[in-house]
Amino acid sequence: MNLPLPASRQLAWHELEYYCFIHFTTNTFTDKEWGFGDESPSLFNPTDFDADDMVTIVREAGMKGLILTCKHHDGFCLWPSRVTEHSVARSPFRNGEGDVVFELSDACRRHGIRFGIYLSPWDRNHAQYGSPAYIEYFRQQLHELTTEYGEIFEVWFDGANGGDGYYGGANETRSIDRTTYYDWDNTRQIVRDNQPQTVMFSDAGPDVRWVGNEKGIAGDPCWSTINQELIFPGIDPASFEARLTQKRETGDMVDTWDSPTQLLNCGDRNGANWLPAEADVSIRPGWFFHSSENDRVRTPENLFDLYLKSVGRGTSLLLNLPPDRRGRIHEIDQESLMGFKALREAMFASDCISAATVLADSGRVEDLLEEASWLQAESDHLTLTCTFTESQSVGIVGLREQIHLGQRVDSWSIEVHTDQGWRKVKQGEAIGNRRLIDIGH
């Protein structure tokens, strides 16, 4: 069986499963989601920023990583980049001597949290955006971030590209060819050269793909495989349909996708590339902090539901925690985070399987909870039967594959034995890195 296989950097990424996004820039102080690019660096002044406190909250919430918006679309840099003055170096933060990227990356390492960077390709501040000169600027910034701040676990490239902006005072609308402008092959090589074990995220990878929405919900099923040639960063429906039509006409593909987001959301069982999905969502309606949203923070129950619909469908969950103007994770957000952690701990506090006798088609299975996996000769139908000495109350059934061998399970079903015999309670497709199946609802 020839299946797409994950690279070592992807396998390491799969193990993280749950980590946070930090959206932080001048937008935090202007109450906007997208800055126009004309914001003065003097606006950025978090008076109580404490990287250790922020990372401690992340760690105590059970997250394993943190990705910081080092530069969002407005172009303001949270580190003193050598190629622009539009940065913290021109802000009152730490009297112009501050470096948010350094402080957070350093705190992450000291607290055992993986550190990642978000660098927006689109820059509404830069006068040369849309020209080849900007690409050199963008690459210089990417080089700075991947050589001066230690080990990076993920580089995040946003798909938003081109539109109106300040652009050095031009105040105009600029468009780019998303398929060619960034020369992604050569741009990504900077990351490969500087950080070989770093995964890169975009709509189209090359290592991790977008899940197709900002709701934190993966498709059901959500395959870790896809045909990468159908998509590119920032892909639009028209380009997707053109590529799909070409494949249909050559007889290379049979599909049921209506849009690129549907393909990204569900993946493709027959896809040629291992390109797993990451489900991103904010704990608030917006990605940046707005005090008007203090009464609209996601509840622990909602976050747990999203966990089952992301991590529980084989993706990773990237949960945004926007710092407020103090530079702190707001107390309301913290309360919800810790409530979410308590729900997870309560649900997974005990595992019934340790008290069961487990039989496979080929015989008894030992240590099903251990890292060593259960394997059986290839077959169209395999069965595991778990027998308990007394009745059990089961909420979640957890399944995993040894994904270093590829995604091999096509479909599954769960049955329970009652006085009336065997009754099917859940069925579906795909397991992948992890499946968390709520059989109580």
Q: Which domains does the chain have, with CATH numbers?
A: 8-347 (3.20.20.80), 352-438 (2.60.120.260)
Taking residues 110-130, report their average pLDDT: 99
Section 167-173 average pLDDT: 98
Position 366 confidence tier, pLDDT thresholds 50, 70, 90: low
Pick the range with the lowest mean pLDDT from 7-21, 29-43, 113-127, 234-248: 234-248
Instruction: Tell which wins on pLDDT, 155 or 247.
Output: 155
- Whether residue 362 is predicted with pLDDT greater than 70 in this model: the reply is no
Of these ranges, 72-81, 257-266, 341-350, 365-374, the one predicted with the greatest mean pLDDT is: 72-81
Residues 407 and 410: their CA atoms lie apart, in Å, by 8
Position 400 pLDDT exceeds 80: yes
pLDDT band at 375 (very low <50, low <70, confident <90, very high): low
- Residue, of 410 and 252, whose pLDDT is higher: 410
Q: Look at 91-95, 169-173, 227-231, 399-403 and tell me which has the smallest mean pLDDT.
A: 227-231
Residue identified by tokens 């069982």 is 269
Distance between CA atoms of residues 203 and 235, nearest Å = 7
Q: What's the pLDDT score for residue 389?
A: 87
- Residue 358 — very low, low, confident or very high, per pLDDT cuts 50/70/90? confident
Confidence band of 96 (pLDDT split at 50, 70, 90): very high
Query: Binning pLDDT at 50, 70 and 90, where does residue 423 land?
Result: very high
Across the range 257-280, mean pLDDT stands at 92
Query: What average pLDDT does range 56-61 have in this prediction?
Result: 99
Residue 32, pLDDT > 70, answer yes
Q: How confident is the model at residue 354 (pLDDT cuts 50, 70, 90)?
A: confident
| pLDDT surpasses 60 at 369 | no
**282 and 214 in contact (C-beta within 8 Å)?**
yes
Q: pLDDT at residue 441 above 70?
A: no
- When pLDDT is cut at 50, 70 and 90, the band that residue 242 belongs to is confident
pTM: 0.95
Distance between first and last Cα of the chain: 36
Q: What is the mean pLDDT of residues 414-425?
A: 91
The number of beta carbons lying within 10 Å of the beta carbon of residue 208 is: 25
At residue 247, the pLDDT reads 72
List beta partners, residue 77.
71, 87
Nearest by Cα to 19 from 349, 342, 337, 331: 337
Q: For 40-54, 212-226, 244-258, which range has the lowest pLDDT when averaged over its residues? A: 244-258
Question: What per-residue confidence (pLDDT) applies to 373?
Answer: 60
Name which of 306, 289, 322 is nearest 438 in CA terms: 306
Give the model's pLDDT for residue 394. Answer: 87
pLDDT band at 381 (very low <50, low <70, confident <90, very high): confident
Percent of the chain with pLDDT over 90: 77
**What would the pLDDT profile of 190-240 be if each residue is shown by its tens digit?**
999 999 999 999 998 999 999 999 999 999 999 999 999 888 888 777 777
Q: What pLDDT is recorded for position 35?
A: 98
Residue of 167, 157, 259 lying closest to 208 (CA atoms): 157
d(CA 109, CA 116): 11
Can you tell me the distance from the alpha carbon of 200 to that of 280, in angstroms, rounded to the nearest whole number? 15
Which residue would you say has higher pLDDT here, 142 or 367? 142
Q: What is the pLDDT of residues 279-325, one digit of tens each?
A: 999 999 999 999 999 999 999 999 999 999 999 999 999 999 999 99
Given a cut of 80, is residue 1 above it in pLDDT?
Answer: no
Residue 368 scores a pLDDT above 60: no
- Average pLDDT on 187-192 reads 99
The pLDDT of residue 234: 80
Q: How far is 386 from 245, CA to CA, in rounded Å?
A: 47
